[in-house]
Amino acid sequence: MKTPEINFIQPKPTFMIRHIPVYGDLILSPMAGFSDKPYRLICREYGSAMSYTEFVSVDGILHGNERTGQMLEFDPSERPMTFQIFGSDEVKIEEAARRIEQLGPDIIDLNMGCSVPKVSGRGAGAALLREPAKIGRIFARLTRALSVPVTGKIRLGWDQQSLNYLEVAKTLEDNGAALIAVHGRTKAQAYNGQANWDAIAEIKAAVKIPVIGNGDVTCVADIERIKRHTGCDGVMIARAAIGNPWIFQRKDIHQITLAEKSALIRRHLDLMLDFYGEERGLILFRKHVVKYVRGLAHIAQVKAQLVTCTRPEEFIALMNQYEDEAGDRARYSLPEPELLVPAYCA
């Protein structure tokens, strides 16, 4: 008897970065100190469609800095994998990109959005937005030198008096960029004020390459709002994903139970200890746990202990104690220590 053929239907990509398909419309933003391998793995599991490293310095790459090398480590399950770099010198940017291409990323991205003075004050990050011609030269170099697609993450300009996002976007496209991610604020705004989704829509209408929208996506409803407003191909989520990777499953934080949250805290801690070692892993995990437990009832005292404990077993014991006390409150009909609904998701 002939075995029947099974035809598997290949899902259609949400968008393409040159020849690379991306399946999904939500992406964890590259964030210094947060978008490391352990957290990227969690977010990919929960639905982030591709991975970006934290931004890495071209000088760190060229000097063979050990910490920089660790930031570029990734798991095959993270593909499409994007290495994000920052720098100001055109020659160094090209040489650094050539070197890290050998590590096997799918995409290399240039950061043109960082607003912190120690980066933008040295001509890198958002400072490049003041020199569109230089951006054009850098991307022309990179697209000639590399076989992988080159992309860029930008802001709208240096300040409200120099909103040159359309010029920058066209310059990127004309010089080979395969995608543009847009944070809808200026450098001067940093993370203050309201993101300008109208500007993201203008960029989307002006270029033929994919555009990722970023800024003021704080809950699930915002995902659909920014997509409708801008027509963007995907949505990049930054601060709203810290402590809430469930947003990539299109779940708001108040929908997550204490049991789910506790299980992920333990798993994330294990990943951090494996990647960084026991001492450094626990220290670095503290900034995550304060976000995970935000809004839990009766958590203040426990949180203070969690962020000062020095041994993983002590950390786990504190979590066990908190869960046991939560169970006692539930049995005696006292309020369950679930997450409070943030005002912006109400």
pLDDT, one tens digit per residue, over 178-192 is 999 999 999 999 999
**And the tokens for 140?**
């022309």
Residue 83's pLDDT is what? 98
Residue 297's pLDDT is what? 85
Pairing of strands 20-22, 15-17: antiparallel
Distances in whole angstroms, Cα of residue 249 to Cα of each of 135, 136, 219, 305, 338: 35, 37, 11, 31, 19
pLDDT tops 90 at residue 329: no
How much is the mean pLDDT over the chain?
92
pLDDT tops 90 at residue 165: yes
pLDDT tops 60 at residue 335: no
pLDDT tops 90 at residue 4: no
Encode 306-344: b = buried (16+ Cβ within 10 Å), e = exposed.
beebeebeebeebbeebeeebeeeeeeeeeebbbeebee
Mean pLDDT of 43-56: 98
For residue 217, is it left (φ>0), alpha (ψ between -120 and 50) or beta? beta
Q: How confident is the model at residue 7 (pLDDT cuts 50, 70, 90)?
A: low
Residue 217 main-chain phi, psi, to 5 deg: -95, 100
**And the tokens for 294?**
């935000």
List all residues 6 or more positions away from 45 whose beta carbon is below 8 Å from its beta carbon.
none
pLDDT tops 80 at residue 344: no
Q: Can you say how many angstroms the Cα of residue 42 is from the centroid of all Cα atoms in its chain?
A: 12
Residue 6's pLDDT is what? 61
- Domains (range + CATH), the chain: 15-249 (3.20.20.70), 255-331 (1.10.1200.80)
Question: pTM for the full model?
Answer: 0.92
pLDDT tops 60 at residue 338: no
Handedness of CA 213, 217, 223, 228 (dihedral sign): negative
CB contact at 8 A, 85 and 111: yes
Residue 325's pLDDT is what? 85
Higher pLDDT, 156 or 298: 156
pLDDT digits (tens, 9 = 90+) for 96-125: 999 999 999 999 999 999 999 999 999 999
Task: Give, in degrees to the nearest 5, the angle at Cα 39 between 36 and 41.
Answer: 105
3-state class (DSSP) for residue 72: coil
Q: How confident is the model at residue 324 (pLDDT cuts 50, 70, 90)?
A: confident
Instruction: Report percent pLDDT > 70 for the chain.
Output: 92
pLDDT digits (tens, 9 = 90+) for 197-211: 999 999 999 999 999
pLDDT digits (tens, 9 = 90+) for 252-311: 999 999 999 999 999 999 999 999 999 999 999 999 999 999 988 889 888 999 999 999
Number of CB atoms found within 10 A of residue 299's CB: 16
| 232 is a catalytic site residue | no
List all residues 6 or more positions away from 91 whose beta carbon is below 8 Å from its beta carbon.
none
pLDDT tops 70 at residue 328: no
Distances in whole angstroms, Cα of residue 309 to Cα of each of 176, 264, 316: 49, 19, 10
Residue 9's pLDDT is what? 75
pLDDT tops 60 at residue 39: yes
Residue 3's pLDDT is what? 60
Pairing of strands 107-112, 81-86: parallel
Tell me which residue of 302, 309, 346 sits closest to 325, measured CA to CA: 302
Q: How confident is the model at residue 346 (pLDDT cuts 50, 70, 90)?
A: very low
The catalytically annotated residue of 43, 114, 219, 232 is 114
